Amino acid sequence: MSRLVIERIMIGKPQTFGQKDAKNPMDREWTSGIVKRTVAGKVWASETGLEGDGHGDLKNHGGVEKAIFVYPISHYAKWQKKLERTDFTIGAFGENLAVQNITEADLCIGDIFHIGAAVVQVSQPRRPCWRPARRWRIKDLAIKIQQEGMTGWYFRVLKEGEIQAGDCFKLQERPFPEWTVMKCNDIMYNQKQDLEQAARLAACELLAPSWRESLSKRVQGKGSSTSRKRVIGPNE
């Protein structure tokens, strides 16, 4: 594996955008912490996230399983071409860490890394919601993210400590080499009929509980009634 390097650290508190009575759903009022600013120097990484960071929807964002959102910088050139938007660049998805030399194909659920003074672990791929779509006024953006598999991923923090841009991640453990983040995305979004694979992934003890629950429901034939609510939400 190439050296995983933090290029930027970004944090931001929730902000409210739009207008309450707008006719176009994409113009209506909404609150999110998706807009973040680059910070210099050391930042404290706690069990629930980076110091100074925040979320507008604490039910679906943040917490120990989604403490730090990470996104590969290399994806942005692909997005710019696909979306035909040169302004779609680092920070577009509200990531906390913009990283070099790694993608969803290169790391696995349960991977443990030392980074600065902290120890982190891959907990799950990101499941995109309607908020990036609202920010960029691209209604089906969450669906495109799922289809492309360029989701980014979350770290849980096993040991709190300071991190900073320029820090390299040092892989310490890889308990589940078969479950790359890319493979997880493929099973969740592209192999929905493969119940055997879904059951195997649901049994991965280091995968975030929300993912395990969703996959288990699929195996039991219960499906999910919230997918469109998550990816389109109030944008229609």
Residue-wise pLDDT for 95-152, tens only, equals 999 999 999 999 999 999 999 999 999 999 999 999 999 999 999 999 999 999 999 9
Cβ neighbours for 54, distance < 8 A, ≥ 6 positions apart:
12, 13, 14, 33, 62
Amino acid at 68: I
Note the pLDDT tens digit of each residue in 69-85: 999 999 999 999 999 99
Q: Which tens digits make up the pLDDT trace of 169-215?
A: 999 999 999 999 999 999 999 888 899 999 999 999 999 999 999 99
Q: Give me the chain's average pLDDT, please.
A: 94
Average pLDDT over residues 8-21: 96
**Contact present, 112 and 154 (Cβ < 8 Å):** no
pTM attached to this predicted model:
0.95
Percent helix, strand, coil in the chain (nearest 5)?
A: 30, 25, 45
Residue 191 neighbours by CB distance under 10 Å: 15
Contacts of 131 (CB under 8 A, 6+ apart): 30, 32, 34, 94, 233
What is the Cα Rg of the chain in Å? 17
DSSP 28: B
Helices (H) and strands (E) in the chain, counts: 7, 13
pLDDT of residue 225: 46
Run of H or E residues at 112 = strand 112-115
The domains of the chain are located at: 4-235
- CA dist., res. 53 & res. 184, Å (int): 27
Architecture of the domain made up of 4-235: Beta Barrel (2.40)
The confidence score (pLDDT) of residue 226 equals 53
